[in-house]
Every structure is written in C-alpha cells, then in structure tokens.
Chain A
Amino acid sequence: MKYSEIDVAVIGSGPAGMAAAIKAKEEGAEHVLIFERQEQLGGLLSQCIHNGFGLLYFGQDLTGPEYGHRFAEKVRDLRIEVMLETMVTQISADRKLTAVNSHEGTIHMQPKSIVLAMGCRERNRGQLSIPGTRPAGIFTAGTAQRLVNIEGFIPGKKVIILGSGDIGMIMARRLTLEGVEVKAVVEILPYVGGLIRNEVQCLHDFHIPLLLEHTVTQIHGEQRVEAVTIAKVDKNKMPIDDYKQHIECDTLLLSVGLIPENELSRMAGVALDPLTGGPVVDQRRETNVSGIFAGGNVVHVHDLVDEVSWEAEIAGTSAARFAGKEEMEKEKKIILKPGRNIRCIVPQTISPQHDVTLYARVKDMEENITLKVGDIFSKSLRVVKPSEMLKIDLTYSQLGQLKDDAVELSIESVKRRQNG
C-alpha cells in the first residue's frame, strides 16, 4: 500500500466505519484504508455481547460481536487495507491526515476523500456536576460493560445506575446475572431513556426497581463509593428535599447520554450542529468541507446499529464518487428546520432532486400527533418519544411540490385534535 494512492480513508472501524469502507470499495474506490485505534476491527461491537443487532440489516437477531464479524469478513474479502492500533491525530481542510502507531511512528498522507466514522462517547460525571466526594467506584455504563465483557472484572457488588439509557439497562441485566445486586435504576425524566424492549427484558425481567423522576444528588465515600443520596425531582427537575433517601452501594454507573466524538472534525474546520453534536451534512453525508464525509454516531446518535451502518454506506458511496472525481452537479440546497417539538434533523440540508430519508428526534414525549414536513408530507403517529428516532421517507415527486424559490423546509410534530 502506497500512502500516496489512498482514495478513501475511513477513520474508525465500528459498525459505521466498516460499512462505509465496504460500500466505498464496492462503488469503485480502488484503495480504501481503515484506521482503527484498537487492536481489532469492530469498535464497540466486541463488548456489546447482547443480542438485538442486525434485525433490520440482516433480518436476523445477532449479538454485537456477530454483527461486527460479518462486516469484518467482508472487509477482508474485499482486500480493504486496515491499520490497527493506529490513531489519527490530525486532519486538515485540504484532507492532509496525520496518524501515529508504534511501528511506523508518524504517518502522513492526503487521501482523495475521508469518511469520519469515529462514533460517540459517553457523557461522564464531570458533565453532570453531581456534588460529593471523588471516590473510586464511579463508572460510565460502557466502561463497566468493557470491564465485565472483555476484561473479566465485576466493577462492584452493590450498584446504583443513574440514567436509563440502553447501555445502563443492559448492564443492569448483565450484572444481575453475574450475581451483583443492582439496587435501582434512577431516571430524572418521567419516562425511560432507552428502548422499551430493554426496559422490559433488562429491568422488569429481573425486578430491578426503576425510579422515574429521581436523581442522584450526592455521592458519599472517601476511598470507595459508600452510598448515594437519591431525591425525587419536581417538574423543573429540581430535587425535592422532603423526598431524599440514602442508599448504600459501592458502585455508581452512569448511563446519561452519548456525545458524537468530533475533535478531528473540528480540526478540519467541519461545521458542527449544536443540536446533534455532529457535523452538518447534506443528504450524501458530505460535510461543509469538500471531500470530507461522515456517517453513523459521529453525525448523530442512533437507536439501532442497523441505521448506523446504513447511514455510513451513504457516506462511503459519496466518498468513493468524490475520490473518482465524479462531477457533482451543482444542486439547489434546501435547509431543514426543526419546528414544533423537533430537537434535531439529519441530514441538515437536502437537494430536492432525489428521494431522501430524514431522521428526526423530538424534544418531548407526546401522544396523538401529526408529523409534518412543510406541506408535502404528513403522517399520524400515536406517540413520539425522544428515545425513538423518527424516520421520514420523502420521494422525489413529493419534493417536486416545493416552490422553485423554496430555501427552507420545516419539520414539526403537531397535536391532533381528539374526537370524543
């Protein structure tokens, strides 16, 4: 492999990176290279040993390692170049890329296009500002998952989980099965943060108490966590003093959200959307920097891995075409605007000449709404929740109904009038 010949460089080899690289190769890019900082392909999939992966993509109920294995085999079969234990440290707007590893030292190259597939990371204690001491025994749910499923350690014996994200609930089940006492899952919102199937199969199945509208207000312990104070919260999410309880535990796990990992994107001058935390992309998943594309959880946090891979395939296709110097037609761009009760939309811009799938997340849970895209699309939904991403397929002909001078399109969730 000559570094000067790389057509498409993919940063990250999780479910997004592998899918992007495979698609780029299939779309005709000759030299595709994946950078992975760990010692094997797959990113976080190797520690997600539970099932529920691939139901949409493969039509089969796979575990994380199995899902990753299928993509890794294809990466091998297609002779995609892989650099393991290699970390990209810098990229620039003209696609100059710097990476380091222990056998080559510093590596420089300028691939014809780049796909960002760095995924996301977990929100941690520092971002939550929970008062108290700073003892050992506080982990993010994903760190605990790695300890239990890869390293073979149990993080503690009596555990409280703050936040009801999917990884937190999955770890509640995993730890319970390993003989750990999970005392409660504490959620500040009035509803669960993750998927319903995880609430049922990880919490209900094991009778793990779920405390909604509660939060941790204090961490106790000097060397090791000894207890936490939990309080009920009011409508403004403020703790109510009369409803405080002291719970003994030696471990606190945090499952309080994921943030797209975009340090490299920023270095290259990629514009980020404050609502998603990821790059602003068009429907081909190109960022504002020409030749730099992005897909998967680096763009916005998805609910399902299948959607991560699909989105990255769009980025991979586009990167291959860019590297092949395929002329991109100058297309009219329409900016998508989050309207009533919509938190964020991906892609942020579209061109009305093509069919497109939009992904949106709502701010608050609502029942009986109509989801509207301008005047060209509407759909009735019985419920929308922040934890469940909305998928909207727009056709070329629907977009053709837009006025010629349209520059914006609003997506909104409108309350339906109830009859009777």
Chain B
Amino acid sequence: MVEEKIVCIGCPLGCRTTLRISDRGEVIKVLGYKCNQGRQYILEEYRNPVRIFTTTVLTEKSSRSLLPVRTNRPILKSRLREATLTLVGVKAKPPVKVGRVILPDLLNSGVEVVATDDLFPDPTLPIKGEGEGGG
C-alpha cells in the first residue's frame, strides 16, 4: 500500500488530503476531505490528472515575435514539459485568427494546439500572395 497526497482546489479551504492506494493502484481510502464534491475532485485528480496547456510559438514575418497558443482539450500533466519541447520548432506565419489550429495532433494525443490571439503581418514587410497560414 502507498499513500498519495492531493490538495483540493474546490474552495478556499484547500483541504490537504491523503489517498491510500492498494498495490493494484486502487483507491482504498481518502482522508482529510471535508465535502463530497471535494472527494469527487480528489478521486478524479488521482485517476486522470489533466491540465490545459498554454505556451507561445515563434512567428515569422510578423511584428510580434511570439504567438500565444493553448490546447483545445486538457492533456496529462506529466506530459507538459514534453509538449513545450514539441512546440519549439513550430513557427506561425500571419495572418492567423484566434482559434486557428497551429499543431493538429500534439504528442499523438489527438489534442489540437490552437492560437489564442490574432497574428498580423509585419506592416513594414512587402505583401506577397495570400496568407500561407501558420504551422
């Protein structure tokens, strides 16, 4: 049996709970929670700890050097650093509208990385052709 500690984020109380986990990974007991919603959150956080991932990607031919992006769905929290590294080589080219897909399938998870802001061309550069898109 092992113990795992999880802090509940449901309310300002921030209960510091302890989960007793069997050798087969099943939750035997949750200790230290003060409401049923909290218990539900803790069980979910133990079974499937996921986060929305946000970062920036480099841009080309824009007056701003970075474009902020996010995942359209949460990903496993253990893969956040890996996700950051995956986006290192990605460059976004204007024009990009907010919500536009920048990377279609992050870490083979089926999760999309989308722009969270518009990206306009650098007004000091000559305009050629239509928008080539980001990616």
Q: Identify the A interface with B (CB < 8 A).
A: 46, 49-51, 61-66, 69, 148-152, 176-178, 196-197, 199-201, 204-205, 382-385, 387-388
B111 → chain A closest CB, angstroms:
14
When distances are taken between beta carbons in the complex, the residues of chain B under 8 Å from A199 are: 7, 14
A66 to B99, CA, bound (A): 9
Contact of B7 among A51, A62, A176, A200 (CB under 8 A): A200
Contact of B117 among A46, A176, A196, A383 (CB under 8 A): A46
A389 to B33, CA, bound (A): 23
A388 to B9, CA, bound (A): 13
Within 8 A of A (CB), among B23-61: 34, 51-52, 54-56, 58
A63 to B80, CA, bound (A): 17
Q: Identify the B interface with A (CB < 8 A).
A: 7-9, 11-14, 34, 51-52, 54-56, 58, 64-66, 68, 70, 77, 80-81, 84, 98, 116-118
When distances are taken between beta carbons in the complex, the residues of chain A under 8 Å from B68 are: 46, 49, 63-65, 149
A65 to B119, CA, bound (A): 12
Please determine whether B52 and A66 come into contact, CB atoms closer than 8 angstroms. Answer: no
- Given the interface pairs A51-B70, A149-B68, A177-B84, the reply to whether A65 lies near B98 with Cβ below 8 Å is yes
Please determine whether A63 and B70 come into contact, CB atoms closer than 8 angstroms. Answer: yes
- Given the interface pairs A383-B13, A388-B12, the reply to whether A66 lies near B116 with Cβ below 8 Å is yes
A383 to B11, CA, bound (A): 9
Residue of B nearest to A51 (CB): B52
Please determine whether A204 and B7 come into contact, CB atoms closer than 8 angstroms. Answer: yes
Residue of A nearest to B13 (CB): A383
Contact of B116 among A49, A150, A178 (CB under 8 A): A49
Please determine whether B70 and A69 come into contact, CB atoms closer than 8 angstroms. Answer: no
When distances are taken between beta carbons in the complex, the residues of chain A under 8 Å from B117 are: 46, 65-66, 69
When distances are taken between beta carbons in the complex, the residues of chain A under 8 Å from B65 are: 150-152
A129 → chain B closest CB, angstroms:
31
- The 7 sampled A-B contact pairs (Cβ below 8 Å) are A46-B68, A46-B117, A49-B55, A65-B117, A150-B66, A205-B51, A205-B80
When distances are taken between beta carbons in the complex, the residues of chain A under 8 Å from B7 are: 196, 199-200, 204
Residue of A nearest to B65 (CB): A152
Q: A51-B70, A205-B77 are in contact. List 18 more A-B contacts (CB 8 A).
A: A46-B68, A49-B54, A49-B55, A65-B68, A65-B98, A65-B117, A66-B98, A66-B116, A152-B65, A177-B81, A196-B14, A200-B9, A205-B51, A205-B80, A382-B13, A382-B34, A387-B12, A388-B12
- Given the interface pairs A65-B98, A66-B98, the reply to whether A197 lies near B9 with Cβ below 8 Å is yes
A202 to B106, CA, bound (A): 21
When distances are taken between beta carbons in the complex, the residues of chain A under 8 Å from B14 are: 196, 199
A385 to B116, CA, bound (A): 33
Residue of B nearest to A177 (CB): B84
Contact of B56 among A149, A383, A385 (CB under 8 A): A149
A174 → chain B closest CB, angstroms:
8
Residue of A nearest to B68 (CB): A49
Please determine whether A63 and B116 come into contact, CB atoms closer than 8 angstroms. Answer: yes
Please determine whether B58 and A152 come into contact, CB atoms closer than 8 angstroms. Answer: yes
A205 to B8, CA, bound (A): 13
Residue of A nearest to B120 (CB): A40
B49 → chain A closest CB, angstroms:
8
Residue of B nearest to A39 (CB): B63
Please determine whether A69 and B56 come into contact, CB atoms closer than 8 angstroms. Answer: no
Please determine whether B116 and A65 come into contact, CB atoms closer than 8 angstroms. Answer: yes
When distances are taken between beta carbons in the complex, the residues of chain A under 8 Å from B81 are: 176-177
A69 to B70, CA, bound (A): 15
When distances are taken between beta carbons in the complex, the residues of chain A under 8 Å from B118 are: 69
When distances are taken between beta carbons in the complex, the residues of chain B under 8 Å from A177 are: 55, 80-81, 84
A46 to B68, CA, bound (A): 9
- Given the interface pairs A49-B56, A69-B118, A178-B84, the reply to whether A152 lies near B13 with Cβ below 8 Å is no
B45 → chain A closest CB, angstroms:
9
Please determine whether A69 and B80 come into contact, CB atoms closer than 8 angstroms. Answer: no
Please determine whether B12 and A51 come into contact, CB atoms closer than 8 angstroms. Answer: no
B89 → chain A closest CB, angstroms:
15
